[in-house]
Structure formats: C-alpha cells, structure tokens
Amino acid sequence: MKKILVVAAVEMMVMALAGGVFAAPPLDVQVGVNAAVTNKCAVTSPGALNITIDPELTVDQPFTPLEPVAHCTKTKGGMDASITAESTNAGTTSNTGTLVGSLDSGAGNPIPYTFTFNPTVVGNGFGAGAPVAFGIGGSVASGDAQVAEYGSYTDTVTLTLAY
Amino acid sequence: MFMKDRMRSQLIIKHTVIAFVIIILFGVAQDAYAAQPLNISPNNIPDADLNGPYFQTFTGSGGTGLYTWAHAAGTLPTGLVFTPATATISGTATAAGTYSFTIRLTDSTGAFLDEIYSIKVSVGGCYFTGGTTGSISFSTIDPSTTPGPILGTVTQQVNFICKNTFPYTVTANSASGWTMASGGNTLAYTPGFIASGTGTGAAVPLFTNTSQILQVDYMNAVAGLYVNTQPVNFTIAWTGGGGGSIVATLPAGSVSGTVINTCAVSQSPGTLTFNIDPSVAGTTSATVTPDMQIKCTKNSTVSVSALSACGGLDSSYPLCGGALIPYMFNFLPGVVGQGFAAGISLNVGGTATSANYENAPVGSYGDLQTLTITY
C-alpha cells in the first residue's frame, strides 16, 4: 500500500511540472458594467368616466370612473410624476387635482362638471400588479344636472404625466 | 622461535626510522650551503608566424655571479636574431621551416648551461583556444513579446585567435536551415556570430548575444521546447599567407528555446452598458464597445471564467449591497489560440430580463466583471 502511494505522488509531481513548463500565469481582465434605469411612465390602457345624469336628483352626481392603467418607474427618493389635466371642451387645465370641464352634446347646452385626479403619483415599477393610481373621479353638480337637456354628452380630458 | 623473530622485526623497524631521520637532516644541511644549478627559462618557446613579428625573452637562475648569454650553436630562423645583452630573440621570420639552436647561460665561475630550443616558422592563421562546440539559448520565448526580436544568449562560447593581421571571415551553414523544431513544428532563428575581422593575436569569442528570432516567426509559434535538429558549422577562413580555415560547430540540440503558452489582451474591452427602460418587456441586451479581443499562443487551449463583484447590477456600486438587478454576463468560455497575428473576440455582452428590472428604482447601477483567462 505504501508503495502505491509513493508512485502516485511522483506521478502527480510530473504532471504538475509538465503543465507548468510551457504556461505563463493566468491573465485577469476587468470589464466594467454600467446600467441606467430610466424614469419612465407609460399608460397601458386608457380610462373613461361615465355618468348617467338624472335631472330629478338634488345631489351632486358622481362619475363612475374606469381608472386608466398606467405604470411608472419606482423612484428611489419617491420622486413623483406630476399630472396635468386638460379639458378639450372647456379649454381648461389644472395641475392641482381638480379641473372644471364641460360635457358637450353638440347642441349648444354644455354641462359643467368637476374632474378630480391625483396631481402627483409615485411610480411603483412595471411589474404586474403595480399600476399607478390616477385617482380619477368627478361629478356633476346637482344644479347643473337639473337643467341639463336630454342627450349624450362627452368631453375629452388629456392627462399629461411629467416625470 | 616466534618471540625471536618478533624482536628482530622490532629492531629493524627502529633502525630504519633512525636512518631516515639522519638522511633528512643531512639533506637539509647540504642544501643550505650549496649553489643552485644553472637554469634557463622558459623551457619551450612559441613558434613563429611567417612574416610575423616575434619576440622572446630568456631568464636565468642559479649559478654564481653575473650571467653571460650566447647563441652557442644551431641556426635561428631567418630574420630572427639573438641579442646577448638582453637575452632576447626578436625580429621577423621570413622563411618557413623548423630551426633548432642552442642558447648558453654562463655564470661568473665559468660554469655554463646549454639549452636547445626549436622554433617552427609557418604561415600564421587562426586556431581555437579551447573547445570547438558552442551552444545558444533563447530561454523562454514569449510569443506576445513585441516588437521583438527575441535575443539568444551564448551559453557555451568558442574562442579563437587569428594572427598576423590576416583578414578572416566566418560563414555558417546548416543542413536543416536556420530552424529549431519541436515535434512537427519549426521555428526560424538566426545565429549571432562574428562575421569577419582581422587577426590581432588576441582571443575572439565566435558567438555573440545577437542570435535572434523575429517576431514574425515566433508570434504564431506553437508552445513547446524547440532545439536545432541538425548541427550548424561555422567556418573561419583567413586569407594571406596561403590562407586556411578552421571549423566550429553548434551541435544538434545546442540551440534551444521554449515557446510558452500565454495570452494578451489585444483590444481592451469597453464598458458593458445597459440602457434599461423598465417599460420594455422581455430583455434588454448590452454589448461591449469596443469588443474585447485576446491573442493567445497558437493552438493553445484557453478557458475563460468570469467573476462578478456584486453579483448583479448594483445601485451602490462600487460598493455592493444596494438595489440589485440580476443580469447575464455573456462571453466565450473557451477559445483556441490563433497566435499573435490576429485577435480573438470573446463576444462579451450582457442580457437583463424585464422580470429583473421592471420594478427597479431609477438610477445608476454598476458591476465589475473579472475575466480570468487560463491557458
């Protein structure tokens, strides 16, 4: 048994020598890797506000919001994306979270309404289940609803996210 | 009987010891009071070159009083004369041949000593002062060496002396050309040696440390121990006095060098830069510009491994421990050396998948990949 061990040791030495005779030491090279994750918001599906105005009601009538689905990059310091809303019919803009818009039927008797939104949002990234909440809402004041004519009214509100 | 013989042996031994001591004392006493015998040195004198200068001095010792020198008999070479006042032979030998003559040293008592000398006058030329075989080593041949050439070192020198200010030239020839071989691979070289000169009578080293292998020859050499397989002869030929030649040799195996496996970065890699738009689904790829290229000993097997400093793109880089975006660092894990004429691209790149960056915080990220190239 001892003899076999000795032979094995010698063979290992020879192999080590043979491997090292013609070889220089390994070479190390460093590669720098940089990445920049950009600030980004994207709306993946638009929203809508619907309301059926009942002129008989004496209370303000809220919209039924369909929240648009948007995603923004999560920011380190909680940097917000600011939102500005603009009513196409009324020509008004707001970045405070409240916008006075105008529903128009085309017949010349518009219905004023209040459009509410979150003026700032914090990104949560683009992963599933992390959409930005715009906090869309709105209502038509009861006084305006009571004098509204029959018809179908629309307005387009453009939300601009600055980030 | 036994006892008697033993006593006799003891007596003999004792008498022998006493007699030896007396002889030694007697010898010392005699040397102290006797004159040394006359002596002339040197015992032998050098031969002379035809039409070359010659000078030889004799010295005497022993005897009594002043010495007198004389050319007692025989014939000196034509052109050489003995001067008794200086005990010298000088002049220019002008006729070839072997000449014998006697130089006499006489002391003040009239005692004299005759010494017979011989001078051979022949055409002067070149001769070796020692061995006639040399060796040259290129030691380690790194094929990445630039710009070259790689010089060899004389490990065994051949020295020769040429006389008579005759011009000489050295020519080299090799049956296999100027190549060393390792297995089936060859490597060209040029031996460094004195090409020509004029005899001065002083020893001249034949080989110089200017043996060389050009970059164009070693840059694509395969690793291995290279030796010359055929002897290389160096003929030292002189003109004048009828001319002549002598030959030295670099025997087979006496020119050697080892080409090593090595790699060098021929094009340093740029930075691998990801521009990650977290809204992009799927993957974001990055490439290194310029690409990383290496050159390695021809036919060498090269393996490449990579080690990430942070284990991903780290928002705290160069520290680690911040927000981490895992990514794939891509490269060729193994290549075969192509020599040092052309670089091999390692195709360094990276890929990050949206699942790993879609929720990543905005900001700068970094990592450091260390590629270890083993050959």
- Where do the DSSP E strands lie in B129-262? 135-141, 150-151, 153-156, 159-162, 167-174, 179-182, 185-188, 196-198, 203-205, 212-213, 224-227, 232-238, 244-250, 255-259
- Residue pLDDT, tens place only, B29-82: 334 445 799 999 999 998 887 777 789 999 999 999 899 999 999 999 999 999
3-state secondary structure of A132: strand
Taking an 8 Å cut-off on Cβ atoms, the answer to whether A29 and B354 are in contact is no
- Rounded mean pLDDT of chain A? 79
3-state secondary structure of A35: strand
C-alpha distance from B313 to closest chain A C-alpha (Å): 7
Q: Which of A26, A31, A123 is the closest to B269 by Cβ?
A: A31
Question: Per the domain annotation, does B83 fall within a domain?
Answer: yes
Taking an 8 Å cut-off on Cβ atoms, the answer to whether B362 and A33 are in contact is no
**Rounded to an integer, what distance in angstroms lies between the CA atom of residue A97 and that of residue B100?**
133
Among chain A residues, the shortest Cα distance to B295 is held by A27
Tokens of B133: 């075989």
Taking an 8 Å cut-off on Cβ atoms, the answer to whether A35 and B359 are in contact is no
Number of domains, chain B: 3
Q: What domain range includes position B181?
A: 126-259
- Residue pLDDT, tens place only, A83-92: 999 999 999 9
Question: Per the domain annotation, does B9 fall within a domain?
Answer: no
Name the most confidently modeled range: A37-51, B46-60, B146-160, B170-184: B146-160
What pLDDT is stored for residue A13 in this prediction? 34
What pLDDT is stored for residue B345 in this prediction? 93
C-alpha distance from B338 to closest chain A C-alpha (Å): 16
Question: Are B185 and B103 in a shared domain?
Answer: no
Question: Are B139 and B236 in a shared domain?
Answer: yes
Q: What is the pTM (predicted TM-score) of this model?
A: 0.64
pLDDT at position B267 over 50 = yes
Question: Per the domain annotation, does B93 fall within a domain?
Answer: yes
In percent, the amount of chain A with pLDDT more than 70 equals 81
Closest CA to A26 of B310, B265, B338, B290: B265
Question: Are B98 and B165 in a shared domain?
Answer: no
C-alpha distance from B227 to closest chain A C-alpha (Å): 15
Closest CA to B93 of B55, B125, B126, B59: B55
Poorest-pLDDT segment among B45-59, B139-153, B314-328: B45-59
3-state secondary structure of B147: coil
Contact residues on chain B for A27, CB-CB shorter than 8 A? 262-265, 294, 372-373, 375
Contact residues on chain B for A24, CB-CB shorter than 8 A? 142, 260-263, 375
With the CA atoms of A53, A59, A64 and A68 taken in that order, what torsion angle do they form, in degrees rounded to the nearest 10?
A: 110
- Where do the DSSP E strands lie in chain A? 27-37, 41-45, 48-50, 61-62, 64-66, 69-72, 80-87, 93-94, 98-103, 111-116, 120-122, 137-140, 157-162
- Rounded mean pLDDT of chain B? 88
Question: Are B249 and B294 in a shared domain?
Answer: no
Strands A27-37 and B272-276: parallel
- Residue pLDDT, tens place only, B74-131: 999 999 999 999 999 999 888 888 999 999 999 999 999 999 999 988 776 788 888 9
Question: Are B141 and B233 in a shared domain?
Answer: yes
Poorest-pLDDT segment among B16-20, B87-91, B188-192, B347-351: B16-20
B-interface mutation test, from A31, A39, A163, most B Cβ less than 10 A away = A31
φ/ψ of B101, rounded to 5, equals -155, 165
What pLDDT is stored for residue B164 in this prediction? 66
Question: Per the domain annotation, does B21 fall within a domain?
Answer: no
Q: Which of A32, A127, A130 is the closest to B368 by Cβ?
A: A32
Question: Are B184 and B254 in a shared domain?
Answer: yes
Contact residues on chain B for A39, CB-CB shorter than 8 A? 362
Give the CATH number of the domain where residue B340 resides.
2.60.40
Question: Are B185 and B208 in a shared domain?
Answer: yes
Contact residues on chain B for A40, CB-CB shorter than 8 A? 277-279
Residue partners of B319: CB distance under 8 A and separation at least 6: none
Question: Per the domain annotation, does B28 fall within a domain?
Answer: no
Residue partners of B18: CB distance under 8 A and separation at least 6: none
Question: Per the domain annotation, does B214 fall within a domain?
Answer: yes
Arithmetic mean of pLDDT, A35-61 = 84
Taking an 8 Å cut-off on Cβ atoms, the answer to whether B224 and A22 are in contact is yes
Question: Are B213 and B143 in a shared domain?
Answer: yes
Residue that is last in its domain, among B259, B293, B317: B259
- Residue pLDDT, tens place only, B211-241: 999 999 999 999 999 999 999 999 999 887 6
Among chain B residues, the shortest Cα distance to A43 is held by B279
Question: Are B253 and B152 in a shared domain?
Answer: yes
Q: Is the peptide bond before B42 cis (omega within 30 degrees of 0)?
A: yes
What are the distances in angstroms from CA A156 to CA A86, A97, A145, B137, B344? 8, 16, 19, 89, 60
Residue that is last in its domain, among B227, B259, B291: B259
What pLDDT is stored for residue B10 in this prediction? 37
Question: Are B292 and B269 in a shared domain?
Answer: yes
Question: Are B155 and B232 in a shared domain?
Answer: yes
Sign (positive/negative) of CA torsion A98, A100, A106, A111?
positive
pLDDT at position B374 over 70 = yes
What pLDDT is stored for residue A75 in this prediction? 54
What pLDDT is stored for residue B188 in this prediction? 96
Arithmetic mean of pLDDT, A108-127 = 88
A-interface mutation test, from B279, B285, B371, most A Cβ less than 10 A away = B279
Taking an 8 Å cut-off on Cβ atoms, the answer to whether B371 and A37 are in contact is no
pLDDT at position B294 over 90 = yes
Question: Are B231 and B198 in a shared domain?
Answer: yes
Taking an 8 Å cut-off on Cβ atoms, the answer to whether A22 and B259 are in contact is yes
pLDDT at position B157 over 80 = yes
Taking an 8 Å cut-off on Cβ atoms, the answer to whether B274 and A32 are in contact is no
Q: Which of B259, B272, B278 is the closest to A125 by Cβ?
A: B278
Question: Per the domain annotation, does B356 fall within a domain?
Answer: yes
Give the CATH number of the domain where residue B107 resides.
2.60.40.10
Q: Which residues 18-57 on chain A approach chain B with CB closer than 8 angstroms? A: 21-24, 26-40, 42
- B/e letters for B155-179, b = 16+ CB within 10 Å, e = fewer, are eeebbbbbbbebebebebebeeebb
Question: Per the domain annotation, does B67 fall within a domain?
Answer: yes
C-alpha distance from A67 to closest chain B C-alpha (Å): 19
Give the DSSP letter of residue B282: S
Tokens of A8: 């094995």
Contact B318, B368 (CB under 8 A): yes
What pLDDT is stored for residue B153 in this prediction? 98
